[in-house]
Amino acid sequence: MNIAVAADGKNLDSKVSEEFEQCLYLLIVNMDDLGITAVKNNELSESSTGENLAKEVLKYDCEALITGKIKPLAFDILADACVTRFIGDHNLVQNALELMEKNSLKLLRNYEGTEECSDHHH
């Protein structure tokens, strides 16, 4: 099972990014062996939509994404593909993955980052 993590670095000791679109790397973590594929984010600009990053999550068939805030376009792409979104910013990647496995991370139910469900995205 692959899990995507928006991160500020290339390894498990990196911090989870506060904003999906502004992460330095998208880490694809194989939860079976903790192998990592680091995808450099080439969308580092104020107008970044995150569309390409969201497509990378889907390309690697990730079941979930751990991140901070997320803009509407990327959120909708991931939600429509049934990728579970978790709020994990302010954690190291390793810690966020452990919290996810223990069901201790909050779900990112909408792009505002609140606990409210929006539309058909769950």
Give the model confidence (pLDDT) of 74-93 as tens digits: 999 999 999 999 999 999 99
Tokens 């600009």 map to which residue? 45
Confidence class of residue 114 from pLDDT cuts 50, 70 and 90?
A: low
Ordered by where they begin, the domains of the chain are 2-107 (3.30.420.130)
CA distance linking residue 122 with residue 112, whole number of Å? 14
User: pLDDT at position 43, please?
Assistant: 65
Query: pLDDT class for 13, splitting at 50, 70, 90?
Result: very high
Instruction: Name every residue whose Cβ is closer than 8 Å to that of residue 105 and which is 6 or more positions away in sequence.
Output: 66, 86, 87, 88, 96, 99
* Band of residue 122 on the pLDDT scale cut at 50, 70, 90: very low
Q: Cβ(61)–Cβ(87) under 8 Å?
A: no
Q: pTM of the prediction?
A: 0.89
pLDDT digits (tens, 9 = 90+) for 46-58: 555 789 999 999 9
